[in-house]
Structures are given as structure tokens and as C-alpha cells.
Structure 1
Amino acid sequence: MSRRVTVVTAVHGPSARFLPDAYASLCAQRLPGGWDWQWLIQEDGGTDDVRPYVPEDERVVFRQGRPGGPGVARTIALARAEGAYVKVLDADDQLTPGALARDLTVLEADRTVGWTTSRVLDLLPDGSTAGFPGDPDAGPVERGVVLGHWKRNDFRAPVHPATLCVRRDLLTALGGWMALPASEDTGLLLALNAVSRGWFSAEVGLLYRKWEGQATGQASHLDPAERAARMAVAEARARALAEFGWTYPADR
């Protein structure tokens, strides 16, 4: 009997044209023996713009729903998740070869690690890539490290939430992604690290596409009042979880 990792992708009309590249990167993954993947593509809305780009593959499930942002789309997709682990893959990004196998190797080897992340390269419009300094050392990310770094560095996390692979039971216990208009993945990362150890792989696991339509490049994403509110609620959630003393895995 095969074991499965669920890949979750939120998509809207403008980003749909990148789905074939994301699919190609997923098909290029070589998983450990006995493992396969399931790809859940959830449109944030109900347009006719996305379906033409969805590949015909029995491992791919496409659904639509009321628009509510990428966090809502990913969270509602969890209703169909079959895997023990959930991997994030945004519609405009690409996995690098070996990314899923490295995630699975870490999570299968150590039950005290609740989630994994990896190094990221920006994928520029001309097809070139660019890295940036500041990655942590490869290995465990202890509880509370992410919030502390994030606060000291103008709300910049030490690891990239777009690379998350997380245990499904832990993800659902935290309620999935935050119901925010943006930074919902950072909010999840902070919550995860408040209750569990993580892992950082120094090998590049994701190509993060830079293009004119991406949400993080829009003026609304940088609105000072909204940004302050997003950061405040994400921090409050993480601190509350830490103060409650709930940990993963739970002490027996």
C-alpha cells in the first residue's frame, strides 16, 4: 500500500498560466519507495480562467470556491487531503528536484520535527535565479526561534513559509492557514514554531517566481495600517500558543 504526501496549491486567474510549470516540477520529484503524491488545486473563486491550465492526471484534484484569499483556499482544500504530510506549492512557484524526498526523509526520521522548510531562489522574469543571504544553518529550528528572529528583523522570518511541508494532524490542529488578506503563511509558520520544532534544509527546495501580478508585489500588500494589523494578530496567536504550553508531539 502506498503512502502519500498531499501538495496544496491555491490559484486565481492571473496565476493559472504558471500551473503547467508547477506540475512539471512536481512530476520531476522522485519519492522514496512506497510513496506517491496527490495535488489539490483550489481556485480562490469560480471563474473559467483556471480550468484550462489544470493537467489531466488522476493524481490531480481541482475545485473552486468562494473567494477569500489564498489561506482560505488552501485550508478548504484540506478537506480532501489524503496524505500524512501536506506540502505547500504556490501556483506560480516550482519545486526543485529532490525537494519532496528531503522533506519526507526528515519528517519520517524524527517525530519531534513537525515541519520542514528549505532554501529558496527567486526566479526572475528572464529565467535567471537569485539567492539572498541570511539563511540559518541546516538542521533543527527550535521552538520560538522564528518569532524572535521575525521581531528583530522587521517581520522577516528566518525561513520561507512558501517551502513548508507539515504533518497534516499538526496543520489541522492549528486550523490551517490564517484568515488574513496576506501573510497567512507567515502566520502559520509562527504558530507552527510556537508549538513544535522544525527543520531547515540548506539545499534549494523552491524557485519563487517574481512577476508583475504576484500578490506580494502589489501596493496593497505594503499598506502600513493593514500590514501592522496582520503582523499584530500573527504575533498574538503565536505568543498565546506558546504561553498555553501546548506542544507537538503532545506529552503523554
Structure 2
Amino acid sequence: MTAPVHEVVPQRASEYLISVVIPTFNYASMLPRALESVVEQLADDIELIVVDDGSTDATAEVLADFCLRAPRLRVLTQANAGAAAARNRGIAAAQGRFVLPLDADDELLPGVLQRLKALIEAQPTVEMILAGRITCHADGRSRVQLPVPMHALGPREVIALYLLRKWVSIAHGSTLFLRDLLLQYPYPQGFEAGEDIPVFASVLARAHVVTLPHPLVRIHKHADSVRRRVPGEQSTMRLVDEVFARLPAECQSLVRRFRAQSYLSLFRSAWRLDRRAEARRYYLCALKLSPTQALRWRYLGKLLRLSLHIRSRNRS
């Protein structure tokens, strides 16, 4: 298998306005869809960078084929180190002033890069553009999610909307970042899932954010998707620490509530997997940290059904 080596280096830094960065690992069957969606939108001020994170499938052949068609496609290869390391490598190599991260199993919608360019031109002080997405499920269902406007909100209010109330939704492919901010707040490595949350929170708390009420990306959910994996308790709590180690002082008062929210997420996952004792323990941890959050009916109702099931089983 011959790895493609095709890296067109711009003559000067920041020659490009936007760099689309795609990390990939053994997604040869899905990667062409993502690449096609970007290649057809490439222009003189837009580049595409793919970081092959040690793939052992036909990824090299897929990339070699696309390199023949797209002179602004740059391919970087590395030994497998995980998505966070691959994203960081691509961002470090990017020549654009802005970076649009895209997952290898998703696809940009037609015309979105031109729309982003127009918005940057109209609002030159923008540092983060938060747009919408279309989430597609394997059974054919789809859902459109659009961003909530965030006018005149301080860092604490924005972070509360993102981490606690889930009103602010950020995803790869639907968010454009000033590259300098991603260099300042890189993706942390060593987490089972959710390594994007510290990055998104760090930038969201500091950037001049503009919302775009249109979807940019089609996100495909499938059985092999990393987004479907359930992290363990230790990794989840380390992630909470990582998030708040990066946030400004005015946000620190939210850490206890976010820790409770994280335990409630673990509770919900364990409940779905029918791990009853584990689910009950997670719920009690959340209740101790934040009774207000834990006593919401969507969690309390699950706990009551869990308790009734355990009681019924004990009687039998």
C-alpha cells in the first residue's frame, strides 16, 4: 500500500482564508463523501487538509485518488495517536486564518464555504461562526438544529447555556474557528470521548461569536461512530477538570453544577444499558452535588422506574 504524499505548501503563511481539516482513521468507506463535499467547493483562498491517523484500510488509496483531482488537498500521515492528536496536527499545519474542522464520516452542504467567506467579509472582527447542522440517522430520520443567538451575553452566561442548559450546540462541521484560538486551546489527548468540549468551551468563553441561522453540515450517525461511545466515570470527571482548567475566573462557579450534569449523563447512559446499580450510584452523586438538577423529572422519573424494577425483582 503506497501512502499518498501530496502537500502543496503556500508561498506565505495565511495565504488561505479557510482551512478545512479532516482527521481520519479507517474510514475509507465514508471518507470519499466528506472529501467530495469539500473538493467541489475549494477556491484560491480555501485549502483542505486530511490527517491520516495510521489507517490500515484503503484510506491511502482513496486519498491518492483525490490528490490527483484537488491541488489544494494536503495529506499528512502519522502513526495512530487518536482523533485529538490528528486534529491538532492538521490545525498546526493549516495555512488559513480560519479553520473548519470536519469529521471523516460527515459532509459539508453545497455552497457553505462561500457563505462563510461572505460572512467573514461582512463582519471582519468575527472569531467564531456558530451555524446549524442536519443530523441523519441510519433509519432515515433527520433533524435540523440551528444556533441560538447570543447577543450581549458574558462568558459565564454563554458557558452556562452551553454546558448546563444545552441551548448552545456546537459540532465539527458546523463551527468555524479563528485558527489562533485553536492553537491556544488545542484538543486534549487521552480521553475516551468528549475531547472537543474543552476546546469549544474555551473558545466560546473568549471569542467574538457570530451565529449563522443555516446548516453547514450533514452529520451521519452510525454504529461505528465515536459519538455513540459511552465514556467511563474516571474519564468523564477528568474531562470536567480539563474544561474548567481552561475557563476564565467568572465561569468557575459553574463547576459543581457541571460535575453534577456529567454524573447525570453517566446515569442516563447506565440506565439505557440496564446497569442498574451503576446508574443509581451516578444519580446519588449528582443529587449530592446539585439537588436542583438531579430532581428534574427527566432524571427523577428514570430513577423511580429503576427503583420500582429493583424492588419488584427483589420480591420475586
* Common topology (TM > 0.5): yes
Partner of 2:238 in structure 1? 229
Q: Answer whether contact 1:146 1:190 (CA < 8 A) is retained.
A: no
Partner of 1:41 in structure 2? 50
Instruction: Identify if the C-alpha distance between structure 1 residues 98 and 30 changes in structure 2 by more than 3 Å, giving closer, same or farther.
Output: farther
Q: Answer whether contact 1:120 1:205 (CA < 8 A) is retained.
A: yes
Instruction: Identify if the C-alpha distance between structure 1 residues 169 and 124 changes in structure 2 by more than 3 Å, giving closer, same or farther.
Output: same
Q: Answer whether contact 1:112 1:196 (CA < 8 A) is retained.
A: no
Instruction: Identify if the C-alpha distance between structure 1 residues 74 and 140 changes in structure 2 by more than 3 Å, giving closer, same or farther.
Output: farther
Q: Answer whether contact 2:34 2:105 (CA < 8 A) is retained.
A: yes
Structure 2 residue matching 1:113: 3-state secondary structure: coil
Aligned equivalents of 1:59 and 1:140: distance in 2?
36
String of CA shifts for 1:81-113, please: whole Å, max 9, x gaps. 121211111101111122222222223333432
Instruction: Identify if the C-alpha distance between structure 1 residues 135 and 141 changes in structure 2 by more than 3 Å, giving closer, same or farther.
Output: farther
**How many angstroms does 1:167 deviate by?**
1.7
Instruction: Identify if the C-alpha distance between structure 1 residues 37 and 196 changes in structure 2 by more than 3 Å, giving closer, same or farther.
Output: same
Q: Answer whether contact 1:180 1:230 (CA < 8 A) is retained.
A: no
Q: Answer whether contact 1:30 1:101 (CA < 8 A) is retained.
A: no
Partner of 2:171 in structure 1? 161
Higher RCO, 1 vs 2 (CA within 8 Å, ≥6 residues apart): 1
Q: Answer whether contact 2:97 2:179 (CA < 8 A) is retained.
A: yes
Aligned equivalents of 2:158 and 2:234: distance in 1?
23
Aligned equivalents of 1:52 and 1:127: distance in 2?
30
Partner of 1:101 in structure 2? 114
Aligned equivalents of 2:247 and 2:124: distance in 1?
21
Partner of 1:204 in structure 2? 215
Aligned equivalents of 2:110 and 2:123: distance in 1?
22
Structure 2 residue matching 1:199: 3-state secondary structure: strand
**How many angstroms does 1:80 deviate by?**
2.4
Instruction: Identify if the C-alpha distance between structure 1 residues 90 and 240 changes in structure 2 by more than 3 Å, giving closer, same or farther.
Output: farther
Letter in 2 for 1:122: T
**How many angstroms does 1:180 deviate by?**
4.5
Letter in 2 for 1:5: I
Partner of 1:247 in structure 2? none
Aligned equivalents of 1:141 and 1:42: distance in 2?
37
Instruction: Identify if the C-alpha distance between structure 1 residues 222 and 164 changes in structure 2 by more than 3 Å, giving closer, same or farther.
Output: same
Task: State the superposition RMSD in angstroms.
Answer: 2.7
In the alignment, does 2:204 pair up with 1:193?
Answer: yes
Letter in 2 for 1:26: V
**Which structure's residues are more often strand, by fraction?**
1
Structure 1 residue matching 2:104: 3-state secondary structure: coil
String of CA shifts for 1:6-38, please: whole Å, max 9, x gaps. 11011101x23211111221134376xxx4321
Q: Answer whether contact 1:141 1:197 (CA < 8 A) is retained.
A: no
Letter in 2 for 1:58: P
Which of these residues, 53, 56, 69, is aligned with residue 82 of structure 2? 69
Structure 1 residue matching 2:105: 3-state secondary structure: coil
Q: Answer whether contact 2:162 2:169 (CA < 8 A) is retained.
A: no
Letter in 2 for 1:16: A
Partner of 1:24 in structure 2? 36
**Which structure's residues are more often helix, by fraction?**
2
Instruction: Identify if the C-alpha distance between structure 1 residues 213 and 43 changes in structure 2 by more than 3 Å, giving closer, same or farther.
Output: same
Q: TM-score, normalised by structure 1?
A: 0.80
Instruction: Identify if the C-alpha distance between structure 1 residues 232 and 20 changes in structure 2 by more than 3 Å, giving closer, same or farther.
Output: same
**Gaps (5+ residues) in structure 2?**
1-10, 253-316
Letter in 1 for 2:59: V
Which of these residues, 129, 138, 148, is aligned with residue 125 of structure 1? 138
Partner of 1:215 in structure 2? 226
The count of aligned residue pairs is 232
Instruction: Identify if the C-alpha distance between structure 1 residues 49 and 234 changes in structure 2 by more than 3 Å, giving closer, same or farther.
Output: farther
String of CA shifts for 1:40-74, please: whole Å, max 9, x gaps. 11122253542122212221111221322212101
Letter in 1 for 2:196: D
Percent identical among aligned pairs is 22
**Gaps (5+ residues) in structure 1?**
244-252
Letter in 1 for 2:108: L
Aligned equivalents of 2:203 and 2:100: distance in 1?
14
